[in-house]
Amino acid sequence: MLPQVHEVLGLLEGGFSGLRVLVVGDIMLDRYIHGEVERISPEAPVPVLRHAQRYERAGGAANVAMNLAGLGVKATLAGFWGADREREELMALLDKDGVNHAPVVTGSLPTISKTRIVARTQQMLRLDIESHKKPMPEEMQRLIDSSVASVAQADAVILSDYAKGALSEELCHAVIRAARDRAIPILVDPKSRDLGKYSGATTVCPNLGELSQATGVSIHELDELLHAAEKQVVEHEFEYLTVTMSEKGIRVIRPGYTYHSPARAREVFDVSGAGDTVIATLAASLAGGLKIESAIELANLAAGIVVGKVGTVPIAAHELVELLTPSQNLRSDERVLDRERIRHRVEEWRAAGETIVFTNGCFDLLHVGHITLLEDCRKFGTKLVVGMNTDASVQRLKGPTRPIVGEKERAHVMAALAAVDAVVLFDEDTPMELIQELKPSVLVKGGDYRVETVVGHEVVLAAGGRVEIVPTVEGFSTTNIVKKLTGGC
């Protein structure tokens, strides 16, 4: 369980959308050609791939930006790309996901691309197109100037170093200095053997192999390697190191303190892009005010999701929301949401393929009739949202002596039930406005209603949903219970 799960869900459900993160680094285009191998070529002893599918993905620093966009962050991408077809394909991908791009176009270098030939899920060959030439000095200066200027509009900065030439030592120092001057987090995905290139960064995020190269300590001597990491923090004035340890999880290291987040057990199909997902999630989390411990846990969850996909595929906020919001994982108060939060929660659930069920009522004194209604609701979908009248609304409907139980207490009792995924209060006399906002897939009402008499039926039906009427349990109602308590019967 995340230490700050309520705050994390708040960020995922709209809070990230107000954040701006700058990504500077090596921009790439990833191509995938998928097919089937059924024979060996008669021309040479090589397998013949029957081409079935081809697609493109943003890679390198561009994939980091795409992960940020998937979380809802306003991402800006800076780096180099060529004046070629690959640049046009990358621009189309970035534009589609709303990534603001401002790379320097270089006429002397191609846009870096990697083409992977895959038979089913087995990669057979990778073709890289890139140049070992350095960018022209005037091109590098333009990138430094534009990157430093962009820091002024950012809430966090990521340096995504794939050792392809975009991140010179001069650029790194200039951008880190600018970020430090604004007191915003700056995170680095390193490829340099000398971590001094990134001195002053908030954190550098090496894997164990990269940490081994930087310290000269074998990855087989884990305790010694992690101790050497502490020295790197002091030597290069980092706040901490964030070490990704593959199946061992992620560890935060600074002198006298470590925090370890174990890996989440998932089936692994492809680890490409997982590091991009980790650093993007960390940057968004820190920019959003989360503590590093919660940021690491969220990044670990995100990495666990993307390694279960084939190819370089960024994380999406709804995937994390879905993972974090099973009823058994949340306290009752974490399932009581305001109107804005419930809209975002339902959007995320719907994007994840969930079927949203909605019912409503006062639910003053909870009884077996209510429980039966809620259990019936679960038969019609995968996520149940309960709309509950506020105290003022109940008084208008039932009279000045009601409700018996206050709205906060009623909401928390309802949210504690296993059948319920979210509770939202509404102050109107009917739930019509709430139904219009949420547009549930299934609207459920108990009693002797007909479909056409259920409030909100027209909204749900117009959106392609349906209305279900379930029978009530005879003899049970809040009114009858109140009468018994007051000696009325």
276 is known as an active-site residue: yes
State the SS3 of 427-488: CCCCCHHHHHHHCCCEEEEECCCCHHHCCCHHHHHHCCCEEEEECCCCCCCHHHHHHHHCCC
DSSP H or E stretch at residue 145: helix 137-151
The answer for 486, left when phi > 0, alpha when psi is -120 to 50, beta otherwise, is alpha
Strands (E), 61-121: 74-78, 80-82, 100-101, 104-106, 112-119
Exposed/middle/buried for 47, CB within 10 Å: 0-12, 13-18, 19+? Answer: middle
Coil, helix or strand for 388? Answer: strand
Task: Residue 377: name the closest of 258, 468, 473 by CA.
Answer: 468
- Residue that is written with structure tokens 């974090």 in the block: 324
Rounded CA-CA distance 460/305 in Å is 32
Which residue(s) pair with 108 in the sheet? none
Report the alpha-carbon distance of residue 151 to residue 240 in Å, rounded: 21
SS (H, E, C) 200-251: CCCEECCEHHHHHHHHCCCCCCHHHHHHHHHHHHHHCCCCEEEEECHHHCEE
Q: Which of 90, 113, 115, 63 is nearest to 302 (CA)?
A: 63
CB atoms near residue 14 (< 10 Å): 18
Instruction: Return the amino acid letter for 14.
Output: G
Judge contact between 21 and 283, C-beta under 8 A.
Answer: yes
Query: Which of the residues 30, 276, 391, 421 is marked catalytic?
Result: 276
Distances (CA, A) of 426 to 336, 390, 392, 411, 429: 12, 6, 10, 11, 8
User: Alpha-carbon distance 334 to 321, whole Å?
Assistant: 13
Residues linked to residue 445 through DSSP beta bridges, in sequence order: 469
User: Hunting for tokens 């925090």 — which residue is that?
Assistant: 259
Catalytic center residues: 276
